[in-house]
Structure 1
Amino acid sequence: MLRPLLVLALWLCITLSTTAQQHYDATWNSIDSRPVPQWFEDSKFGIFIHWGVFSVPAWGPTKSSVYEKYAEWYWWRLLDPKAETYAEFNAFHTKTYGKDFKYQDFVKGFTCEMFDPAQWATIIQNSGAKYVVLTSKHHEGFTLWPSAQSWNWNAVDVGPHRDLAGDLSDAVKAKGLHMGYYYSLYEWFNPLYKSDVNKYVDDHMIPQMKDLVTRYKPDVLWTDGEWDHPSETWKSTEFLAWLYNESPVKETIVVNDRWGKETRSKHGGIYTTEYDLVHDETSVGKKIEHPWEECRGIGGSFGYNRNENLADYSSSEEVIHILIDKVARGGNLLLNIGPTADGRIPVIMQQRLADVGAWLHVNGEAIYNTRNWASAPPVKADTKVFYTRKGKDLYAICTKFPEQAFTVTGVNSSAKVSLLGYAGKVNYTVNGKAVKITAPVLNPANNPCQHAWVFKIENAL
């Protein structure tokens, strides 16, 4: 009997230990100890969607500083005399709608009659993205689901009279993609927030976030609007302890670092950059030793901006190069699209996504499930070579086609080289710990892709 009892005791010890490790206290030390779920770092590419009442005026200046270009900030810029674009917003608003037209009246134009969630999901799937993050509620406080805390200021009570968040979630998950939500902690003009932030947190924000999580079971909760108060005021660690210990997505949920005015790049889950401008420590070209994600629009705004022209949009080549840069540095790219108020993804955005998808169809092996190569040399202007790794294999991603031979050092002597999507032979020589690669001559008939080319170096590491 002794041995079975010992086995049982050992099993109980292991079980209790595992259970204890999976419990998180409402402190940053404990919350920060939770690993980011692996699916996120494997996915590499996601689609951000900014959609709301701000999609009706859909306007912002294009020649201002980064944040002043955001069309989704229309209501705030209209009423904040300190905003650098206050005069521009008011001039446009008065000329177009009249000075007495209230922002809340825009909800009548948020009709979404062209919204086809299955079509959106197909466009996103074809882009090669593996996850989606939809604005469930932006700073204007309008929710895209029937939130009890936002009575008569949600997409079911007014506007389209439709559960937009739920409909898109069903369509995205049906494609096998991860679904997530952006959520603004604060609301610009909510009377409760303005008068009693503690009551707002207890009676409005936390119940609303819990409803969003339990109702739709998202894989991402992407918070924002945290900068007015420290995380203690937002009760962020208390909410995250519930999310990690009790919620229905406690094992899979990914969160970001926007939980209080002191938390970015310090606490939470993944670190977030925004048009490469949010944090000095995450500047362009620097490797970040933590799971992270860059978010940006294809144009200068997240919400749809009717004022943007072709020159204001990144080209397909630029978008693909941005993706390569982020992944080579160990991060993800969350690329934003801004649908129209009637529920369409603008054609120019569809075209950019289709081009990224076409490139990933050939070269996704060098992006998905990869990690950055710690020994990667600096990117040189003449070759523009970025590196990712997967197991023993290395990928040299050339954003400029190498007309001259280039050398990769620090590889095994048994390394073998091929060009993804190219059926022909690639000439290379291995000398000690270096492989010298000579690119093949390509023409329209045998060129595997546009914008960037990937040389796979098998058994390199």
Structure 2
Amino acid sequence: MTYEPTLESVRTHEVPDWYHNAKLGIFIHWGLYSVPAWAPHGGDIGEVFESGDMSQWFRLNSYAEWYLNTLKFEDSPTREWHTRNYGADFDYDDFAAGFNSALRRWQPADMVSLFSEVKARYVVLTTKHHDGFTLWPSDIPCPRKPDYHTMRDVVGDLTEAVRDQGMKMALYYSGGLDWAFNETRINDGADVFGTIVQTPEFVDYSV
């Protein structure tokens, strides 16, 4: 079944039967940001949206997967923590070497066994978050950062392990925000939409 890029078309999508009784699923955010695995303790994002004041949210972002963007604020707690622990010259992309090294020891079956123990019925993996780093060695390299991916096929290995345990597997892919193509710092809600990449180069890469 295919859908057109319109609200009318997407709204015809029906929820799969298995999902109605799925109860518990595991959503995995995993990437270079998992190496520092740090973010300041911030407010509740729901309260922030309700207030309409996003002025401090992105500087104090409490989501570790936004580490790269928060790092761009010179006065952010993330920048201070990063400099203190890694040094001012340590770039976010430098986390890739350690991440890939650790993945050589990763046992997906062990991870999935834990999911099974808690009776999860589906798993969602971030295959590429906003930083643009992919969790598989794609045959189509990022033109801005050709080696910006895992050496191991994390997506494939985890998918196989999940399905072996009888669970459903779903994949998340950040298709609009990609900081490998647009390094503009996101300061507020308007910037989220204003920094969505729409260049021909990005379209050729991502489609």
Unaligned runs of 5+ in 1: 1-21, 157-161, 207-461
Q: Give SS of 1:170's match.
A: helix
**How many Å separate the matches in 2 of 1:27 and 1:79?**
34
Is 2:34 the counterpart of 1:65?
A: no
Q: Deviation of residue 202 (structure 1)? A: 2.1
Could you say which residue in structure 2 is the equivalent of 1:35? 14
1:202 maps to what in 2? 203
TM-score normalized by structure 2? 0.76
Q: Residue 87 of structure 1: CA displacement?
A: 2.5
- SS state at 1:134 partner: strand
Map residues 1-400 of structure 1 onto 2, 5 A cutoff. 24-62=3-41, 64-66=42-44, 68-80=61-73, 86-110=75-99, 111-147=102-138, 148-150=140-142, 151-156=146-151, 162-185=152-175, 186-191=177-182, 197-206=198-207
Q: Which amino acid aligns with 1:176?
A: G
Normalised to the residue count of structure 1, the TM-score between the two structures is 0.36
C-alpha contact 1:192 1:200 (8 A) present in aligned 2: no
Higher helix share: 2
Query: Which structure would you say has the larger Rg?
Result: 1
**What is the aligned residue count?**
175
1:37, distance to aligned residue in structure 2 (A)? 1.3
SS of aligned partner of 1:155: coil
2:191 — aligned with what?
none
Higher RCO (CA 8 Å, separation ≥ 6 residues): 2
Question: Unaligned stretches of 5+ in structure 2?
Answer: 46-60, 185-194
Q: Which aligned runs of 4 or more in structure 1 are off by greater than 3 angstroms?
A: 22-27, 191-196
CA RMSD in angstroms comes to 2.4
- In the TM superposition, what is the alpha-carbon distance from 1:192 to its structure 2 partner? 9.6
Deviation per CA, 1:409-453: give whole Å up to 9, x if none: xxxxxxxxxxxxxxxxxxxxxxxxxxxxxxxxxxxxxxxxxxxxx
Identity fraction in percent: 39
Q: Compared with structure 1, are the counterparts of its residues 88 and 171 closer, same or farther at alpha carbon in structure 2 (3 Å cutoff)?
A: same
> How far does the alpha carbon of each residue in 1:23-59 deviate from its partner, in whole angstroms, 9 at most, with x for none?
7555322331221111111212100111111111111
Q: Give the direction of change, closer, same or farther, for the CA distance of 1:31–1:59 in structure 2 (3 Å limit).
A: closer
Residues 87 and 202 of structure 1, relative CA distance in 2, 3 Å threshold? closer
Q: Distance in 1 between matches of 2:30 and 2:172?
A: 11
Structure showing the higher strand proportion among its residues: 1
1:42–1:197 Cα change, 3 Å: same
What secondary structure sits across from 2:65 in the alignment?
helix
* CA deviation vs aligned residue, 1:135-183 (integer Å, no higher than 9, x gap): 1011111000112143300002xxxxx1111111111111111011111
